Amino acid sequence: MSNSYYSHSSGNPVALSRGVSASLRSEFDLVQAGFDAVQMAITSAQNYASAPAFDPTVTYTSGAVVFSNVDKQLYRRNSSGISATDPSADTTNWTRVVIGLIRVEVSGTTQAAVAGNDYWLENVALCAVTAPAAVDGARFAVTPANGLKTNTVDFGAATVRGPAGIATGVVTLDLGARMECFYSAAIAKWVLL
């Protein structure tokens, strides 16, 4: 059964073998992160179910949540202030709230990612994806539908934590597996789910 919050792709433990403590702890960490993501999605849905419509005359506090009058998606205010621009067109002041990822098919060789999307790489050549801004709660995924093990994700100066440790900069999806990330400001890192 497929689960968008946890993907058993590490190969640990190896079938019919005795477990190695470190690899099993790492796998359980991934399972825990997956369960944490499920709870965050449930909490987000409960908190945002009654979000008001965006009003360009209101001064919003940092963290305020509204729904866009244009695309009907939820957005969280990045800092206190007022803006006449709908949140769907104002990425400086608003970040889309991600409850479920939206599938985006990529046919080119480069893609600037936006939080809330699952990028399906379909070009026969490798694709270079640039991670979205590292904002608390941002979530995105990259699915190498082209079957290549040379697709990359550029995290820039941000750090990403996964089962093999931490990395900064360009990460190659050399296993050819889907990668889903969540940014946590509490630890100042992208976390692989």
The pLDDT assigned to 165 comes to: 85
Mean pLDDT, range 80-90, rounded to an integer? 93
Q: Which amino acid is at 190?
A: W
Question: Regarding beta strands 110-112 and 139-143, do their DSSP bridges make them parallel or antiparallel, or are they unpaired?
Answer: unpaired
| Cα-based distances in Å from 127 to 33, 69, 155, 170 | 27, 33, 14, 12
**Where exactly are the structural domains of the chain?**
102-192
CB atoms near residue 150 (< 10 Å): 14
The pLDDT assigned to 13 comes to: 60
Mean pLDDT, range 74-85, rounded to an integer? 91
Output DSSP code: residue 81.
Answer: B
Instruction: Kindly report the average pLDDT of the chain as a whole number.
Output: 83
The pLDDT assigned to 14 comes to: 62
Percent of the chain, pLDDT > 90?
A: 39
pLDDT category of residue 19 using cuts at 50, 70 and 90: low
pLDDT category of residue 179 using cuts at 50, 70 and 90: very high
In this predicted structure, the answer to whether residue 186 has a pLDDT above a threshold of 70 is: yes
The pLDDT assigned to 1 comes to: 39
CATH class of 102-192: mainly beta
Q: Among 31-35, 43-47, 74-78, which stretch is predicted with the lowest mean pLDDT? A: 43-47
The pLDDT assigned to 38 comes to: 66
Mean pLDDT, range 157-177, rounded to an integer? 89
The pLDDT assigned to 95 comes to: 84
Measure the CA–CA gap between 22 and 27, rounded to whole angstroms. Answer: 9
Biggest CA pair distance of the chain: 63
Mean pLDDT, range 178-188, rounded to an integer? 88
pLDDT category of residue 51 using cuts at 50, 70 and 90: confident
Mean pLDDT, range 124-128, rounded to an integer? 94
Whole-prediction pTM: 0.56
